[in-house]
Amino acid sequence: MKPIYMDHGSTTAVDPDVVRAMTPYFTEIFGNASSLHSYGEQATVGLNASRQIVASAIGAHPDEIIFTSGGTESDNLAIKGIAYRNQDRGRHIITSNIEHPAVLNTCAYLEKHGFEVTYVPVNDRGLLDVESVKEAVRDDTILITVMHANNEIGTIQPIEEICILARDKGIYVHTDAVQSIGKVPIDVNRIGVDLLSISSHKIYGPKGVGALYIRKGTNIEAISHGGSHERGIRAGTENISGIVGFARAMELAQARFDGDCEHLRSLRDRMIGNILKSIDHSYLNGDLEQRLVNNVNIRFSYVEGEAMLLLLNNKGIAVSTGSACSSKSLKPSHVLEALGLAPEEMHGSLRITLGRENTEAEADRVVEALIEIIGKLRAMSPLA
Ligand SMILES: *Cc1c(COP(=O)(O)O)cnc(C)c1O
């Protein structure tokens, strides 16, 4: 039987249209955008057009887009860049306790270098309370970094309200929008953020490329040093083919936004409904309303997530237990831990992240497989 991929929160296949857009940039148009001859000029045309596309997709000006190697680098640049440049104003940063490791580990690094970080806890559905963020603000707070949507449980945070409280106090706000782009409408001016991270490979673009939106007038320091690429904020010859592919993926995401969201939401709700209805002792992790259209995260009592994952894999079905970034370690997910779940509840959780190409038939096949696998595992479990 045809394999089923339902791990789009980890990565996506590159859209054939994106591959077509990239291809000439490996061969005929191979120039370095910094060169003054016509090869360089041609590369610059592709680079500028891509910057224009990515900027307009999020309501930004092209000068506010810095291309990077992906979400991780964008998060590092945003957080360290703001911290280093603004440390004379204060050394306090606010974040949540369910951020992606690219944010959490960058904050932990800064804590070892003289900065203080407050990790505001989420509630049992993974939502941040804006009042708690407000209470965490101090006179020396320079940055609030809160993800737009969570990669494990899909919770969408009240980032607009956080921006409002920060603006009054002159605090910069960064959001990691890697999971929300293409699934939640994003306009940087409507949201009010100063910095926003996006990545190409979560939206059917190539890996190793992304962008950081930096609002005009934001005081930020470069974190890598070299040539004057990307306005001196991010040195290194631009990955033109990757950037062109990323821009094409952004264009597709924009063009297909309504259809994609409707399709994903309907598959998501079908799966959640069928699983909760047909499998006893199954519970949804995260919030039902403030949730990404493609995220299904469910915990099953009396079974191990890894066992379910491997048996599903034997049937050609790819899902995950937590995020790809933490699932190779046996530590329970910090996100599920933040929801206040007991260890055995965390271990029985599965994350299914849907994509454009998934069908209703696939959704039903996965639910059938889950019913069978969980039945077998529970029959062997002394706890069940
Ligand atoms: C995947 C992901 C990242 C990392 O992006 P890369 O491009 O893989 O470096 C960061 N944040 C979130 C929320 C993600 O899902």
170 and 278 share one domain: no
Q: Is the dihedral of CA 3, 326, 92, 78 positive or negative?
A: negative
Give the range of the structural domain holding residue 154, as residue numbers without chain letter: 17-255
- CATH code, domain with 270: 3.90.1150.10
What pLDDT digit, counting tens, does each position of 55-101 carry? 999 999 999 999 999 999 999 999 999 999 999 999 999 999 999 99
In the structure, what pLDDT confidence band is assigned to residue 300 with cuts at 50, 70 and 90?
A: very high
Number of domain units in the chain: 2
111 and 154 share one domain: yes
Going by alpha carbons, the residue nearest to atom 12 of ligand 1 is 178
251 and 265 share one domain: no
3-class secondary structure per residue, 281-331: CEEECCCCCCECCCEEEEEECCCCHHHHHHHHHHCCEECECCCCCCCCCCC
Q: What's the start-to-end Cα distance of the chain, in Å?
A: 31
Is a pLDDT exceeding 90 seen at residue 329?
Answer: no
Residues 6+ apart with CB under 8 A from 11: 201, 202, 207, 324
Q: How many CB atoms lie within 10 A of CB 289?
A: 8
How far is the C-alpha of 167 from the C-alpha of 288, rounded, in Å? 29
Q: Hey, what are 371's tokens?
A: 């019913």
Rounded to the nearest 10 degrees, how much is the dihedral formed by the CA atoms of 361, 366, 371, 372? 100
Domain boundary, last residue among 222, 255, 288: 255
Going by alpha carbons, the residue nearest to atom 5 of ligand 1 is 71
304 and 319 share one domain: yes
Output the CA angle 351-356-360, nearest 5 degrees: 75
Mean pLDDT value across residues 261-280 = 98
140 and 190 share one domain: yes
DSSP 273: H
What pLDDT digit, counting tens, does each position of 96-117 carry? 999 999 999 999 999 999 999 9
Ligand 1 centroid from CA 374, angstroms: 30
153 and 191 share one domain: yes
Residue 77 Cβ < 6 Å to ligand 1: no
221 and 357 share one domain: no
Q: Hey, what are 67's tokens?
A: 């291309």
180 and 317 share one domain: no
Is a pLDDT exceeding 60 seen at residue 52?
Answer: yes
Q: Is the dihedral of CA 118, 79, 159, 253 positive or negative?
A: negative
- CATH code, domain with 54: 3.40.640.10
8 and 139 share one domain: no
What pLDDT digit, counting tens, does each position of 344-379 carry? 788 899 999 999 999 999 999 999 999 999 999 999
Specify the ligand 1 atom closest to the Cα of 72: 9
243 and 270 share one domain: no
What pLDDT digit, counting tens, does each position of 233-250 carry? 999 999 999 999 999 999
Q: Is 259 exposed, middle or buried (0-12, 13-18, 19+ CB in 10 A)?
A: exposed
Ligand 1 centroid from CA 280, angstroms: 33
How far is the C-alpha of 68 from the C-alpha of 360, rounded, in Å? 36
pLDDT, position 1? 83
Q: Which of 337, 355, 339, 348 is nearest to 275 (CA)?
A: 348
Going by alpha carbons, the residue nearest to atom 14 of ligand 1 is 178
183 and 289 share one domain: no
Answer for the pair 260, 149: CB distance below 8 angstroms, yes or no: no
Answer for the pair 188, 218: CB distance below 8 angstroms, yes or no: no
Domain boundary, last residue among 233, 255, 277: 255
Ligand 1 centroid from CA 384, angstroms: 36
Q: Which helix (H) or strand (E) holds 266?
A: helix 257-278
Domain boundary, last residue among 255, 280, 308: 255
Q: Which of 286, 282, 284 is nearest to 303 (CA)?
A: 282
User: Is 325 noted as a catalytic residue in this protein?
Assistant: yes
Give the mutation target among 100, 204, 334 for probing the ligand 1 site: most ligand atoms within 8 A of CB.
100
pTM, to two decimals: 0.97
Specify the ligand 1 atom closest to the Cα of 323: 15
Edge-to-edge strands, sheet with 195-199 = 65-68, 210-214, 195-199, 172-176, 141-145, 92-96, 116-120
219 and 304 share one domain: no
